[in-house]
Structure 1
Amino acid sequence: MLKLASIVIRVNDLPAQARFWKAALDYVERDPAEDDWVVLKPRDADAPCIALDAHHSERVLPPRIHLDIYAEDQATEVRRLTELGAREVHWDNLPVDADYVIMEDPEGNRFCIVDRPDWSGWERARD
């Protein structure tokens, strides 16, 4: 049996990216940050950790992998994340009825905010 425990994101500015992702997801440091590594864990949920690796990596578009983050109030979360430094990504091929908004963190790492108004927590995400 396997369990997805952590998703690693390569970053250039570890302190800034740690601040962004902690505020974005309400995560906390699992252990004190090192100079080039920090693992952020959910404050109150059984969900995967986000590990930030201060190691330069070329940005490739479209990315081969991205995060889907569920939101009960998508519009509010998109505004909040924008205030934290994220940017909305406009894509010409976005379906008219898309239930997601494509965004990127302050360093350009992509993620989607998926509209899930009936979602009430991590347990439902596994259904």
Structure 2
Amino acid sequence: MLNIGTIVLGVADIRRATDFWSQALRYVPRDGESKDDWVVLEPADGPGTALALDLSEVPVQKHPRVHFDLHTEDQVAEVERLVSLGAERVDWDLYPEDPDFVVLADTEGNRFCVIDLNHG
């Protein structure tokens, strides 16, 4: 049996990405450790999937093949909170007619979606 243990995200600036994702997800560096080329973030409140940030020179994809879907029951508030942390709204050309998601980019330009669990 396999389980997802860690999701790895390529970033250009480890410290900037660590600051953003730590605040966005309420995660902390594993064992309090953060290096210039690699850090593993874990949930501050207990078990959960870890997020590793890996130094990368690969350019960000406009339409990434893999991305995060972050679920919330208060999409408007969470989008505003993430934008206040440094995320940017993405002018997404693939929105359906009545989307339940908002596309944002993190401080490194990586796209992710904020999904409204109350979308009706």
Aligned residue identity for 2:5: A
**Is 1:89 equivalent to 2:97 in the alignment?**
no
> C-alpha displacement at 1:100, in angstroms?
0.5
> C-alpha displacement at 1:85, in angstroms?
0.5
> C-alpha displacement at 1:117, in angstroms?
4.0
In 1: Cα distance, 2:103 partner to 2:46 partner:
24
Tell me the percent identity.
46
- What corresponds to 1:37 in structure 2? 38
- Check whether the contact 2:42–2:51 (CA below 8 A) recurs between aligned residues: yes
**Offset from partner CA, 1:74-115 (integer Å, 9 cap, x none):** 000000000011011122331122111011101110100001
TM-score, normalised by the number of residues in structure 2: 0.91
Provide the aligned length of Structure 1 versus Structure 2.
118
Unpaired runs of 5+ residues, structure 2, are none
Secondary structure of 2:54's partner? Answer: strand
In 1: Cα distance, 2:99 partner to 2:91 partner:
12
- What corresponds to 2:27 in structure 1? 27
- What corresponds to 1:124 in structure 2? none
Secondary structure of 2:47's partner? Answer: coil
- Check whether the contact 2:7–2:50 (CA below 8 A) recurs between aligned residues: yes
